[in-house]
Amino acid sequence: MKNLVIETIAISKIYEGVVPVKAVDAVDLQIEDNEFTAIVGPSGSGKTTLLNMIGGLDRPTSGSVKVNGRDLTGLSENQLIDFRLNHIGFVFQSYNLIPVLNAKENTEFIMLLQNIEKKVRDERVEKLLNEVGLGDKMKSKPSQLSGGQQQRVAVARALASKPDFVLADEPTANLDSHSTSNLLDIMARLNEEEGTTFVFSTHDQRVIDRAKRVITLVDGKIESDIRK
C-alpha cells in the first residue's frame, strides 16, 4: 500500500470583500506517494488557491491540510516556513530564480538554508542539473538561459531539498511546445525512476495528457477525479 502524502479534509477558502468569494469549497483530497496528478479547471475554479493551501503558502478558512500525517493548519508562520523548506518543493510559472545567481547557485540555494555541507551540495547539484540536461550550464545566470532552461533549473531547485512532493503551479504557461515537451519528459522520468510525487495546477492540455490522474475543479469543488 502506498504512503498517503497529502490529505485535505473539508478545506475551504473564503476571500472576504463586499461580496465574499468562496475560492475553494469543502474539498476532500488524498494524494499518495509517486503520483503524477494534474488539478485542472477553468480560470477562477480554485486550482492555485488549493495548491497554495496544500503547500502551506495560504491558510484555509476552515478544514485541515495534512502532509505525511502532520497537520499544517496548526503550525505557526515560522513553523510553516521550516516545514516548506524541508518537505515541499515548488515550481512556479514565473520560474522565481534569483537573477544574480547562476544555475548552480540557484539550485543549491535551499540546501544552503538547510545548512547542508558543501560537498553534499556540490554532488547533488551536479547530479540534478545533469538529470535536467543542464550540466553544461551550471555557471550560466538566468538571463543567459532560455525560458525552458530556466524552468528546468527551477525543477532542479525544487528537488534539491529532497522534498516529500513537488507542487507545480502552471509550470508550462510561459514555455513553447518544445520546451514544454522537454520539461514534461524530465518530470515524468523523475516520477517513474526516482519516485518523485508531482501535483500540477494547470490548464495546459499537454500536461493533462501526461498526467496519471486528473482532478477537475469547478467553482471550488471537485467535479471529477479520474485515474488513467
In single-letter form, the type of residue at position 119 comes to: K
Q: What pLDDT is stored for residue 135 in this prediction?
A: 93
- Helices 147-160, 177-189: inter-axial angle, 10-degree rounding: 20
Which stretches in the chain have pLDDT values below 70?
1
Distance CA 60, CA 49 (A): 9
Q: Give 52: exposed, middle or buried? Use CB within 10 Å, 0-12, 13-18, 19+.
A: buried
Q: What pLDDT is stored for residue 100 in this prediction?
A: 97
Q: Give me the number of domains the chain comprises.
A: 1
Distance CA 212, CA 179 (A): 21
> Taking a C-beta distance cutoff of 8 angstroms, is the pair 186, 153 a contact?
no
CATH number at residue 147: 3.40.50.300
What ranges in the chain are assigned the alpha helix state H?
47-54, 77-87, 103-113, 118-131, 147-160, 177-189, 205-210
Rounded to two decimals, what is the model's pTM?
0.92
Domain that holds residue 39: 4-227
Q: What pLDDT is stored for residue 1 in this prediction?
A: 61
Q: Over the stretch 171-189, which tens digit does the pLDDT of each residue have?
A: 998 899 999 999 999 999 9
CB atoms within 10 A of CB 7: 19
Q: What pLDDT is stored for residue 128 in this prediction?
A: 92
Q: Over the stretch 118-144, which tens digit does the pLDDT of each residue have?
A: 999 999 999 999 999 999 999 999 999
> Taking a C-beta distance cutoff of 8 angstroms, is the pair 193, 225 a contact?
no
